[in-house]
Structure 1
Amino acid sequence: MSSNTLLRSVRALLRCTSRSPASPVGSPARRFLRATPVRLYYNRTGAGAADTGGSVPVLTVDLRSDTVTKPGPAMRRAMAEAEVGDDVFGEDPTVNELQKMATDIFGMEAALFMPSGTMSNLISVMVHCRERGDEMILGDLSHLHIYEQGGSAQLAGVHSTTVTTLPNGTFDLDQLDSKIRHGYPDAHYPRSRLVCVENTHNILGGRVVPLPFLQELRSLADQYGLALHMDGARLMNAAAALGVHPSVILKHCHSVSVCLSKGLGAPVGTMLAGSKDFIQRAVRARKALGGGMRQSGILAAAGKIALSDMPGRLDEDHRNARSFAEALTQCDPPLYQVDLAAMETNIVRFVLHDPGLSPTEFCELMGTVSEAEVDALGQGVSVLMFPHVGGTVRAVWHLGISEEDTQLAIKKAQFVAHQRSLTSGRGR
């Protein structure tokens, strides 16, 4: 299945749902991205033993999302010992330290600690689009457009128009140009104020937006006086994949939202960054939405470890994800199809060759342990995944999944393929 065919399937499914360049090894970027490994901050494995009532324990490998990460002992200790104050008054020292750290890492003038990425993206839209009826332009497969409940329209009164998302997470700039409104204050049209881009791209399996595209996109935005916001929930994965400092990516953006509670392992929080004026306005919007927190340094302490120590280990997730993807392509009998060229970070999306096996049924098989599996593998392994858009299955690597866990997941996928061939008669 080609990338374009898969995209058409994705869009069709979403419509149905709606109706129903690497840096040198010694460079600052490499030193930042390859910081001290963080095995001290989480337990060795995500494969936790679960007693099913039988004599054989079941090991669980949770690949549903990188949101399932949990803070380890060192992160919990930092949270317990954090110095706190009233953040609404600007008096929480740990929050202030986290915001200063984010400012430096992202190369922005200021930053703000947010409860969630959805609120952070919404506030970015509210600040950039200051009048009700303003318009933003974004990809038709973007997280902000698909998964955030239309909050920009519900709560901010901001109109959206979409451009077609391409297989690498970009969009055609000529099409974007054609969507920009001109002639304000013509009474018939909204006013174009904002362009949003997603990096890495969630629906497209963790694709990294190329730097030349961002440069051209910013040039076009500047030409028409538009702001450029990046939904960078997995920005640090993009930086690790490109081998650059995050600020290299963000020099093309007016604002960014970066999640701390995905692959970076904090329990809560997102960082919003931009100009000083942008953040000042964002503080007001956060308060209006109920996002003003008090002694939130307890959470910010985890965020500090997430930003300082966790980026250096993201390459590990990328390697493990690729190992799994490559193993699927080599599986005999061939049940799985993976576009390895699209495998850039920590997300693996694949298609099942068997038309009689739906993604939902496959995920049930991967999560269930049978006696035959225990006999064949000597143990039981429950691998948790999600059925995804376009008839695919998604698996996401994170700091709770080790190389050993990855090998367990590979063995389980091979076992399911073998068992499927027997039941369908192809193995006879």
Structure 2
Amino acid sequence: MIDLRSDTVTRPSAEMRRAMADAPVGDDVFGDDPTVNKLEDVAAQMLGMDSAVFVPSGTQANLIALMTHCQRGDEYIVGQSAHTYKYEGGGAAVLGSIQPQPIDAEADGTLSLELVKSKIKPDDPHFARTRLLALENTTDGKCLPLDYLAQARRFVNEHQLALHLDGARVFNAAVGSGVDVREISRHFDSVSVCLSKGLGAPVGSVLCGGQAFIQQARRWRKMLGGGMRQAGIIAAAGLFALENNVKRLSDDHENAEFLATGLQGLQGVDVVACSTNMVFLDYQCDFSRWESHLEEAGILAKVGKRTRLVTHLDVSRDDIEHVINAHREFFGECP
């Protein structure tokens, strides 16, 4: 099956599996797993941060970041559709006693800093204490503009806030923007990076930040059940991903562009292309028939009013051509 539901469906390559099998291991809770330590050092260096901590998931990485930046009764400002607010089970509120203040994002994925300013609470016992601004990059496949990141940094400095980046696909953002990832990460106090999306590892994320920040983050990781033992076996996959699969993200972006171009002109279909590895289709028809048609053609996709197609390392150019032909066949019949 050609699986376009997400880039989380990637499977480890033979070379990655060998790296996992051969990885030297120790007890990471004791801090003596050499592969985990190397992964954290490499991630921190790549993002220009002092330190990093390896965690099981992106959800846990973001939750740890929020709980490290904020105390009980504090607040973070976040996009209405941001992953840390909408798709992570309300963990900040449930487990961290942190109040989210969601706001609508602009069309390019940014949060209006004027709107953010209007949501910062006064220093008054009636209100939660606003401590953090959380951004996401990429968002719906779009890269946040670099000048906006610089503006956000100046803004949080002016208002004594911390700045966290949900950088699940931050390497896609860097490749899509044509810059080193440090040109993005340098504006933030903390950055979470997912290793199991386009980078192709089977599991895991890293949270990067300052030395004191990561030291506290390790305490939250343990409390949240993220302390792992011989974790070098899975850390080796993340290390392989960082060392081998970053530059090749451009292949996924090119395939997404090729897909978007090939789908242009289909009757009644609005094709929205991004600068990374996602294509969105807006269409009104029998969604179950569309999805069944794709499955019969060997294609998996989450079909709906807005359908997202995601390219990744397990999708080739030949696969993309097959997907284009399958859509042309279907929409030629669809009223």
| TM-score tier (shorter) | over 0.9
- Residue 384 of structure 1 is aligned with which of 287, 300, 303? 300
1:52-63 to 2 correspondence within 5 Å? Answer: 60-63=1-4
- The answer as to 2:135 corresponding to 1:208 is no
Distance 1:360 1:148, change over 3 A: farther
Cα distance, 1:175 vs structure 2: 0.6
Q: Give the equivalent residue in structure 1 for 2:152.
A: 217
Q: Provide the residue aligned with 1:236 in structure 2.
A: 171
How far apart are residue 143 of structure 1 and its match? 1.0
1:295 aligns with 2:233: no
Please give the alpha-carbon distance, in whole angstroms, between the structure 2 residues aligned to 1:359 and 1:177.
Answer: 41
Output the aligned Cα RMSD: 1.1
Aligned ranges 1:94-105 → 2 under 5 Å: 94-105=35-46
Q: What amino acid maps onto 1:181 in structure 2?
A: K
Identify the residue that residue 89 of structure 1 maps to in structure 2: 30
Show the counterpart of 1:192.
130
State how far apart, in whole Å, the 1-side matches of 2:153 and 2:303 are.
35
Matched AA of 1:103: A
Cα displacement string for residues 260-300 of structure 1 (whole angstroms, at most 9, x for unaligned residues): 00000000100100000110000000000010000000001
Deviation at 1:363, TM superposition (A): 2.1
- Given that 1:328 and 1:337 are in contact with CA atoms closer than 8 Å, whether structure 2 keeps it comes out as no
Assess, with a 3 A threshold, how the Cα gap between structure 1 residues 358 and 191 changes in structure 2: closer, same or farther: farther
CA distance in 2, matches of 1:345, 1:191: 36
Contact 2:137/2:144 (CA < 8 Å) preserved in 1? yes
Instruction: Tell me the amino acid that sits aligned with residue 109 of structure 1.
Output: D
CA distance in 1, matches of 2:301, 2:51: 37
Q: Which residue of 2 aligns with 1:57?
A: none
Unaligned runs of 5+ in 1: 1-59, 369-380
* Number of the residue aligned with 1:310: 245
Amino acid at match of 1:272: L
Instruction: Select 1:124's aligned residue among 58, 65, 80.
Output: 65
- The aligned counterpart of 2:290 is 362
Report deviation, 1:362.
2.1
Amino acid at match of 1:170: T
Q: Which of these two proteins has the greater Rg computed from alpha carbons?
A: 1
For the 8 Å contact 2:138–2:170, the answer to whether it is kept is yes
Q: Secondary structure at the match of 1:414?
A: helix
Conserved 8 A contact 1:75-1:302: yes
Give, in angstroms, the shift of residue 338 of structure 1. Answer: 1.1
TM-superposed CA distance for 1:199, in Å, is: 0.2
- The separation in 2 between residues aligned to 1:360 and 1:169, in whole angstroms, is 30
TM-score when scaled to structure 1?
Answer: 0.77
> Which residues in structure 2 correspond to 1:219-298 (within 5 Å)?
219-298=154-233
**Sequence identity of aligned pairs in percent?**
45
Whether the aligned pair in 2 keeps the contact of 1:359 and 1:392 (CA below 8 Å) is no
CA contact (8 A) 1:359 1:393 kept: no
Q: 2: distance between equivalents of 1:346 and 1:72?
A: 20
Q: Supply the distance in 2 between the matched residues of 1:213 and 1:315 (Cα, whole angstroms).
A: 23
Separation in structure 2 between the aligned mates of residue 298 and residue 161 of structure 1, nearest angstrom: 38
Equivalent residue in structure 2 for 1:346, among 244, 260, 277 = 277
How far residue 145 of structure 1 moved from its aligned partner, in angstroms, is 1.1
The equivalent residue for 1:160 is: 100
Shift >6 Å, 4+ stretches: none
1:358 is displaced (CA, Å) by 4.0
Corresponding residue pairs, total: 335
